Amino acid sequence: MLQNKMLLTENRRLRLENDELNIDDMRRMQLKVTCLEEKIKLYKAKMSRNNKVIVAYKLLIVSWMMFLGYLACGW
């Protein structure tokens, strides 16, 4: 009977320890996920800026082509 109570107490202690370890693991994983989400946001912002620059250069090229076209036609 006493041995059974000791085993039950040990079992509870181990379960609590396991729960604490699981919580620690979950917190570490949450930090990693948060870090990755932040990196993804930064990457998307950078790509958005790059796309805006590319569009601006394309518009500039088209504007120059139209201007040179007008000059060639004797505007």
pTM value surpassing 0.85: no
CA gap 54, 16 in Å, rounded: 57
Per-residue model confidence as pLDDT tens digits over 54-72: 999 999 999 999 898 888 8
The CA-based angle 34-40-45, given to 5 degrees, is: 130
Model confidence over 31-51: pLDDT tens digits?
999 999 999 999 999 999 889
